Amino acid sequence: MNAAAGRIAENVRQVRERIAAAAARAGRAPNEVTLVAITKYVSLDVTAAAIEAGCMDLGESRPQDLWSKAAALAQRPVRWHMIGHLQRNKVRRTLPLVHLMQSVDSPRLLQALDDEAARQGHPVDVLLEVNVSGDASKTGLPVDEVGTLVQQAGQLKQVRVRGLMGMAAREGDAEGARADFAALRQLRDRLAAAAPPGVSLAELSMGMSGDFEQAVEEGATIVRLGSILFEGVDA
């Protein structure tokens, strides 16, 4: 292992311990939580080091970065997650590369994904991104529009909704974030009770470097971690 991979592996080990402890506090099993390493801050070399360190789920927020890294790392068994805004004109090229499209933020994007997945002949797993705090500076669907998309998803043939994604309003205020995570989980519970056949809301993608323990305690099944995994590594 090169030096960067060694350091990342140590960061991952510590983070996994903290995830396991947070899960235990909530009476959950640690393997209910998937760690997605967000590589948007780091170079291709450091991204390759993260794979060497055992990170197989990787996320990018800009489609162009996902395209170029996925192409360069095509020989590795990576599951790519798209976590940022995706314009509809980038759906065609992004779709074959992603394991989970986490940031569906409009009915038009949901429909465009279904149309293109039908053209490409394979289903696509997605999360609906919710602006759970209502903060105008945050991305995602307004809370009161999510139910409509869940119903719309029941009509689609290739899109498989798997859950919700969200982020807390107050970065740097981990306990304040807890209220946003609890609200996202409660929204999920409400919508799941009325979800159409074929639509699952089992996944909750929430928690970043500053607040992932609170997110796991509040029910996260996916945490998206960037900076904490790359501490001490030159980008």
Q: How far does the chain reach from its first CA to its final CA, in angstroms?
A: 17
Residue 176 Cβ, how far from ligand PLP at the closest point, in Å?
Answer: 15
Question: Phi first, then psi: what are they for 220, rounded to 5°?
Answer: -60, 135
Residue 144 CB, nearest approach to ligand PLP (Å):
21
Among 111, 158, 209, 221, binds ligand PLP (CB under 6 A): 209
Q: Closer to ligand PLP at the Cβ: 148 or 227?
A: 227
**Of the two residues 40 and 160, which places its CB atom closer to ligand PLP in the complex?**
40
Q: To which H or E segment does residue 22 belong?
A: helix 3-25
Written as six digits, the tokens of 8 are 């990342």
Which among 8-16, 90-98, 142-150, 221-229 is the span making contact with ligand PLP, rule CB under 6 A?
221-229
Question: Which range touches ligand PLP (CB under 6 A), out of 120-128, 153-161, 179-187, 205-213?
Answer: 205-213
CA atoms 140, 142, 147, 152: torsion sign: negative
Nearer to ligand PLP, 10 or 196 (CB): 10
Q: What span, in angstroms and rounded, lies between the C-alpha atoms of 61 and 183?
A: 24
**Contacting ligand PLP (CB under 6 A), which of 199, 219, 224, 233?**
224
Instruction: Indicate which single residue of 39, 47, 61, 133 sits in contact with ligand PLP (rule: CB under 6 A).
Output: 61
Of residues 147-186, those binding ligand PLP (CB under 6 A): 167
Q: How many CB atoms lie within 10 A of CB 204?
A: 26
Least gap, CB of 196 to ligand PLP (angstroms) = 27
Query: Which of 44/194 has CB closer to ligand PLP?
Result: 44
| Helix, strand, or coil (residue 23) | helix
Location of structure tokens 């794979």:
51
Element of type H or E holding 48: helix 44-52
Q: Helix 63-72 and helix 44-52: axis angle, to 10°?
A: 60
Binding interface with ligand PLP (CB under 6 A): 38, 40, 61, 83-84, 167, 208-210, 224-228
